[in-house]
Amino acid sequence: MSEELPSGFWIEEISKKEHADFMNYQTYYDEHFVRYNPGGQILPRTYTRHLKSLLEFEVKQDDIWVCSFPKCGTTWTQEMVWNIMNNVDIESAKKSHIDIRFPFIEYSAMVGDKPFLENMKSRAAAGSEESKIATSIELVASKPSPRLIKTHLSADMLPRQINEKNPKVIYIARNPRDTCVSYYYHWKLIHDFSGSFDSVFNSFISDVGGYHLPFFQHVLGFWEMKDRKNVLFLTYEQMKLDLPGVIRKTVEFLGKSLSEEQLARLEEHLSFRSMKGNKTLNSVKGIPVQDCTFIRKGATGDWKNYMTEEQTELMKQWEKRNLDGTGLEFIYEIVQ
């Protein structure tokens, strides 16, 4: 793995106070993050070691990629796709962690090789091939076709062969207000973030907080791809409002066929109650499933319980600046 940046890429230090404030509330990463240009995605500095390998990753035409900004319904979408591709074999799904069935390709680049290995040993069956694999890139490469691959990379950071091989790409987006709240809890759970919601809010709308920001650069990069035949753009709110319709749409997109009975079973399996109680989905190493909040509330409109009137107005202005003229609209509240 090389520390040298591939041709055409450069790193930009982040000088904004909001980033320093955000990073000072966490202890997992020793160094502040940097911006990878020309696209501008914020990632750990150590990502450089894996950048070339990820850009040059050999894509297969029958790969299926689930892409998203963090905390936008990724796990929900992964579980839907895995079951569609495996004839709704829910019993098998419950025996294997989603990290094994549907690997996160840049995981090693985000946390380091040693934490990845520790995670695999806790997730994979003892003595299995998965428990011995050194990096997340190797784990994806080892999977039989059709490979199911998760990523939080922005469109410009994806393997270059994505645009040559045209594999199936499913993007799941969520409204930025609920994403911001969920992102706050994600950092508290995964990285022992000790700051307030205000510190996350300020860095989030300043596009300089934690990994995978800026939010709108991420979402709009895939929104611009939505008309390609190999791309399906979904939203979290669509899944909340019409899960059966989204399942059927995804089944058709993937070229599969499910019976009415299979569709009904999958809908029940993907219910929030079922997902939250599923230890192969809602678990983090070292945290018992009953105490885990990786899958937290799943509500649309929960942001109202966190944002002040001033923050709501700032968020609306930020949304308007980024969304005007794009045609993309979000749903910000669903009354249960």
Catalytic residues: 152
Q: How far does Cα 256 stand from its chain's mean position? A: 24
79 phi, psi to nearest 5 deg: -65, -35
**Would you state the structure tokens that stand for residue 96, as one six-digit string?**
């294997």
Burial class (CB in 10 A: 0-12, 13-18, 19+), 219: buried
d(CA 94, CA 92): 5
299, 295, 296: which is closest to 333 by C-alpha?
299
- Listed in sequence order, the residues at least 6 apart from 155 whose beta carbon sits closer than 8 Å to its beta carbon are 39, 67, 218, 221, 222, 224, 225
Greatest alpha-carbon pair distance for the chain in Å reads: 55
d(CA 238, CA 232): 13
Q: Which amino acid is at 77?
A: T
